[in-house]
Amino acid sequence: LEDPAFEFTDDARQWVDRGTCLTFNLLKYIVPGKLNRGLSVIDSYKLLKEGKDLTEDEVFLASALGWCIEWLQAYFLVLDDIMDNSHTRRGQPCWFRVEKVGMIAVNDGVLLRNHIPRILKKHFRAKPYYVDLLDLFNEVEFQTASGQMIDLITTLEGEKDLSKYKLSVHRRIVQYKTAYYSFYIPVACALLMAGENLDNHVLVKNVLIEMGVYFQVQDDYLDCFGAPEVIGKIGTDIEDFKCSWLVVQALERVNEEQKKVLYENYGKVDPACVAKVKALYNDLNLQGVFEEYESNSYNKLISSIEEHPSKPVQAVLKSFLGKIYKRQK
Amino acid sequence: LEDPAFEFTDDARQWVDRGTCLTFNLLKYIVPGKLNRGLSVIDSYKLLKEGKDLTEDEVFLASALGWCIEWLQAYFLVLDDIMDNSHTRRGQPCWFRVEKVGMIAVNDGVLLRNHIPRILKKHFRAKPYYVDLLDLFNEVEFQTASGQMIDLITTLEGEKDLSKYKLSVHRRIVQYKTAYYSFYIPVACALLMAGENLDNHVLVKNVLIEMGVYFQVQDDYLDCFGAPEVIGKIGTDIEDFKCSWLVVQALERVNEEQKKVLYENYGKVDPACVAKVKALYNDLNLQGVFEEYESNSYNKLISSIEEHPSKPVQAVLKSFLGKIYKRQK
Ligand SMILES: [Mg+2]
Ligand SMILES: [Mg+2]
Ligand SMILES: [Mg+2]
Ligand SMILES: [Mg+2]
Ligand SMILES: [Mg+2]
Ligand SMILES: [Mg+2]
């Protein structure tokens, strides 16, 4: 928090401390159970180094990049909760709902984001890949914000329209909103640290995007079919009229009568409506559809990975895939 | 709007077009009468080139940087209106108040900001000063967001407390919230284009910050004492409990009785209260205090500028100062 670009007063520091605390909290309860985006920079870098011991400096730098990714996520989560008018984030009230915060949370979100260039400048300014790091974080921020945009405009309040929910739409939302910042950027950071040029790693990028999509499909599946005591929350995608992979698959399989049931019951809070949707999902055997999707995805991902000429890169990608394949939470 | 990082669908493009239109509108009615931050990059660059004709390419690049500054401002204005719960921006409803937009405006603001790195990458990636441009925009964004933070926490709704309003607080808010992005960044962009190292231009930076502060003091003064038909709006700083330069000066000059009047009437919408505050400003001769401040600032700025070893740089700074000195709007 020391930065020559801005002198803090006590008041300001108090505010920031309060914010930072919350952010640490946010991170603490967002990250576990998920992929732990931050740590995966170190993990990936280790694998790229093929088991050679990392120097203290390398560990420090990889952690710094991990933190940048966490700040990026915190920034998007704070703003996302405002836009979704959410109430809680893993059991705690959303930041904008905390007393006295309100819409100031918008600026707090922006300040979280600003940690990224400050960390990069402080620790990477002299590295040959400094400019590539800046470009990378800028690109991924743009992609994530673009994903948010398509998500927000397809689920516009007051225009509940199931006919928009197609597989291609679902894929685009997921790819831009989640996959780049959750899957691509940690590995891209590790590659840059290892001296690689990202232009030579289109295959890696594509595989990671596919993994991100697969991860989100699992998320959508578990929201309905996962055990609440295992995933740690009760899914509400049906109530929330989400463009979930399940409803998209259902829409591709319904007959006229079932379609009517779906249109009449999707997006309602009434538990009877939710139950009807779930019954329909069962009638359409969406669990089976998912299992088939899961094993297909896995096989395709493995064969794409094995096309890669570098064994260490393969190891990074397989390690990622291993962490999420058949996950129950 | 063409970018390989994101493929637009028709829906998304429609949304962006709608947003961009508004942004152009925003800019159109924000910029005139003010400093025209965008154009000042070209103006400054011309002066640095000492009247040599600019090539078409130089004009293009300077304009591109001007646009980056305009996007930066648009981003901050869209978010600022949300946080201030404002109603209109130069006669039009604020973006977040437009039908169907609402809190999606947060993400739209973020997308506006993302134009900056995209423009920079597209047109400056190969320039030796590319990384300095990225650093500059990042630093100024951080400073502006920090200024917003101190502004928001000193004017926290529900904690109306005049005793916090000191000259040092006013100065800090203004310096960070306005001066860097309005005064410093256009000249800094022109210097980078001219091949200069910004570390060698601390004097320039300091002079521009001082000018930014002076500009905001004028703004505060005109809000109360300017002619509404000239400035194009009716000031409401008194009603809004703003940390204006005028109230800060008043607080430094009041006796016990006058202090009571100020505490009882500042920040109320009732025209009778506003009138009492204005009467007090007159009793304290704040017009005279301002005139003295104005000529002092001018003299100090001129002598700082004349300390600068380079005539072209002096010309840039004097041109800026000439545009704002004794302005009536
Ligand atoms: Mg959300
Ligand atoms: Mg959302
Ligand atoms: Mg989910
Ligand atoms: Mg405002
Ligand atoms: Mg404001
Ligand atoms: Mg004003």
Could you please report the per-residue DSSP string of B133-188?
HHHHHHHHHHHHHHHHHHHHHHT-TT---GGG--HHHHHHHHIIIIIIIIIIHHHH
What pLDDT, on the 0 to 100 scale, is given for residue A31? Answer: 44
pLDDT tens, residue by residue, A194-206: 999 999 999 999 9
- Residues of A with CB below 8 A from B103's CB? 82-83, 85
- Percent of chain A at pLDDT exceeding 70: 88
Q: Please say whether the beta carbons of A69 and A37 come within 8 A.
A: yes
Angle of CA points A139, A141, A146, to nearest 5°: 95
Contact status of B269 with chain A (Cβ, < 8 Å) = no
- Residues of B with CB below 8 A from A16's CB? 149
Q: Chain B neighbours among A 88-107 (CB < 8 Å)?
A: 100, 102-104, 106-107
The Cα A172–Cα A183 span in angstroms is 15
Tokens of B310: 């380079």
Contact status of B151 with chain A (Cβ, < 8 Å) = no
- The model's pTM: 0.89
Q: Please say whether the beta carbons of A120 and A134 come within 8 A.
A: yes
Of A247-251, A325-329, B19-23, B64-68, the poorest mean pLDDT is in: B19-23
- Percent of chain B at pLDDT exceeding 70: 88
Q: Chain A neighbours among B 193-252 (CB < 8 Å)?
A: none
Mutate to test the interface with B, among A118, A136, A149 (most CBs of B within 10 A): A149
With 50 as the cut, is the pLDDT of residue A26 above it? no
Q: Please say whether the beta carbons of B319 and B47 come within 8 A.
A: yes
- The chain-wide mean pLDDT, for chain A, equals 89
Mean pLDDT of A141-170: 90
Q: Which residues are bridge partners to B89 per DSSP? A: B92
Angle of helix B167-174 relative to helix B130-154, nearest 10 degrees? Answer: 140
Would you call A265 helix, strand, or coil by DSSP? helix
Q: Is the ipTM of this complex over 0.95?
A: no
What does the DSSP assignment read for A224-260?
HHS-HHHHSS---TTTTT---HHHHHHHHH--HHHHH
Nearest ligand by distance to the CA of B150: 5
Q: Chain A neighbours among B 28-57 (CB < 8 Å)?
A: none
The Cα A5–Cα B180 span in angstroms is 11
pLDDT tens, residue by residue, B105-127: 999 999 999 999 999 999 999 99
pLDDT tens, residue by residue, A280-324: 999 999 999 999 999 999 999 999 999 999 999 999 999 999 999
DSSP state of A162: G
The Cα A33–Cα A327 span in angstroms is 10
- Residues of B with CB below 8 A from A100's CB? 156, 158
pLDDT tens, residue by residue, A115-142: 999 999 999 999 999 999 999 999 999 9
Give residue B248's pLDDT band: very low, low, confident or very high (50, 70, 90): very high
Which residue has better confidence, B95 or B280? B280
The kind and range of the H/E element at B93 are strand B92-93
Pairing of strands B92-93, B88-89: antiparallel
With 80 as the cut, is the pLDDT of residue A188 above it? yes
Q: Ligand 1 centroid vs B222 CA: distance in angstroms?
A: 43
Give residue B166's pLDDT band: very low, low, confident or very high (50, 70, 90): very high
Q: Which residues are bridge partners to A88 per DSSP? A: A93
Q: Please say whether the beta carbons of A329 and A232 come within 8 A.
A: yes
The one-letter code for the residue type at A65 is: L
With 50 as the cut, is the pLDDT of residue B171 above it? yes
Give residue A33's pLDDT band: very low, low, confident or very high (50, 70, 90): very low
Of B121, B142, B172, the CB nearest to A5: B142
What pLDDT, on the 0 to 100 scale, is given for residue B317? Answer: 96
The Cα B272–Cα A88 span in angstroms is 44
The Cα A273–Cα A270 span in angstroms is 5
With 80 as the cut, is the pLDDT of residue A159 above it? no
Q: Which residues are bridge partners to B43 per DSSP? A: none
Q: Please say whether the beta carbons of A77 and A222 come within 8 A.
A: no
